[in-house]
Amino acid sequence: MTTNGILLAKYASKLKDAGLHRVNISLDTLSPEKYRQITRGGDINKVFDGIKAAQKANLSPIKINCVVFKNKDEKDARDVARFCEDQDLQIRFIHQMNLETGEFSIVDGGEGGNCSQCNRLRLTANGDIKPCLFNELAYNVKDKGIEAAYQDALNNKPKAGTRNKSGKFYGIGG
């Protein structure tokens, strides 16, 4: 599961009990003010609390996703990397992507960019299951039910993404 971590302190142990094994948490900066700007008002201390709760619940490995504009040598990325080293967390640097133009990149330390091997689905905050970030397809669990939305997303996963003119990363959890 990938999360912004804001509610993880409340739900980490329940998620573990429900069968979740590991978690990715988005964290692009350690600056409370910059975090507030990036997240449109989020509280970075809730993320830190969520990380601690995930560690306590043994959701491991805990991977931190840090978005970079150019490379991992940017100040915020270096700060997050040091934090991860101190907290025994894995870090993954993700280059900022543009859904509208179809610009994506491989995650540093990860895989990606190979549509023929992609098996990812994404559940958005509004209940849409997206079979591909670079496509406008979405199946809403509230409208269709969880099983039907999930099956539709699996059955209609495109062979390759193109672009997504109706979505932004901040709106779909990226």
- pLDDT tens, the chain, 174 aa long: 888 999 999 999 999 999 999 999 999 999 999 999 988 899 999 999 999 999 999 999 999 999 998 889 999 999 999 999 999 999 999 887 766 676 666 666 666 667 778 888 888 878 899 998 778 899 999 999 989 999 999 999 988 877 666 656 655 555
Q: Tell me the pTM.
A: 0.78
- The three-class DSSP label of residue 68 is strand
Residue 65's Cβ-side half-sphere holds a number of Cα atoms within 13 Å equal to 17
| AA letter at 143 | D
